[in-house]
Chains A and B, each alone.
Chain A
Amino acid sequence: MRPEGILATFGVDWSHLLAQVVSFGIVCVILYRFAYRPVLTMLEVRRQQIALGLANAEQIKAELARTEAQRQDVMVQANAQANILIEEARAAAARVREQQTQKAIAAAEQITINAREAAAREHDRMLAELKREVGRLVVQATTAVTGKILTSEDQRRLAEETARRVAA
């Protein structure tokens, strides 16, 4: 078969075909310029946004992990500090308790000492009073008795003694 015959059988007309190709071409160009390109740019933009979003999400996840780690850290530190405070408070309480015990013991001792001292003082006072009474009795007895006992010889001796003191 001859090529023109094939083309005529199928109804292909060169001028029509050309016209159609041209108009198809024009449509393509128009579509490309006014439809495809904006759509493609829009798709490109959207693709970029999605990529950015994904990257952000990655960052946020990393950030979260870090914050979590920090929080854990702080909690551990706070716990440690709390323990120290509790230890110090316990030590302080023990010290205060020790002090109070010592004070109570000292007070009790003081009471015993005071009682003992009071008893000793009472004893001393009675002894002193007794001494005074005995002394007074001795003097009284001597006064009553001496005048009757002394002889004139004794009187003379006493007078001489005084005379000596005057002369001396």
Chain B
Amino acid sequence: MKVNKRAKRDAKQLFHLCLVNRLLAENRVRHVVQRVVTAGRRDGPAILSHFRRLLRLDRARHTAIIESVTVVPADVQAAIEAGLMRRYGPHVTTTFAYRPALIAGVRIQVGSDVYDGSVQARLTALEKSF
């Protein structure tokens, strides 16, 4: 849907209202959504869609997706989590996923940052260099 500038601005303001100590507070989010729905304004859906987008982006920034082929040993897991916490702050949630296409190694993605140590990435880079 087309979200005009005013709706975007309003959604941004609402998003900033939901932040407590630079973190998203879930109860506030629910409250905001309810209020916007009940207010019944014409650009309500537009505001909400942009709001949802901002939420999604924020969540992506604070989620680390760790993909691997085999189960990562526990101590390595802990090391990864410690590193992530040091770099991105204590409120990063880690999820582990299984991706066989990686062949071997681990791919970590936090928001837009990607740490790709998998064999597949190296092979793709090699193929591109030819």
Contacts and interface: CB of A to CB of B under 8 A. Distances in A.
B119 interface: yes
B127 to A, nearest CB: 5
A139 B80 CA distance: 29
A155 interface: yes
Interface in B53-84: 68-70, 72-73, 76, 79-80, 82-84
B5 interface: no
Interface in A138-168: 138-139, 142-143, 146-147, 150, 152, 154-156, 158-168
A-side interface mostly: helix
B80 A143 contact: no
User: What is the interface residue range for chain B against chain A?
Assistant: 20 to 34
Nearest to B68: A159
A61 interface: no
Given A132-B130, A150-B104, A161 B117 contact: yes
Contacts of B119: 142, 146, 150, 158
B39 interface: no
Given A142-B123, A159-B106, A163-B79, A152 B70 contact: yes
B83 A146 contact: no
A136 interface: yes
A166 to B, nearest CB: 4
Given A135-B130, A166-B83, A159 B105 contact: yes
Interface of A: 131-132, 134-136, 138-139, 142-143, 146-147, 150, 152, 154-156, 158-168
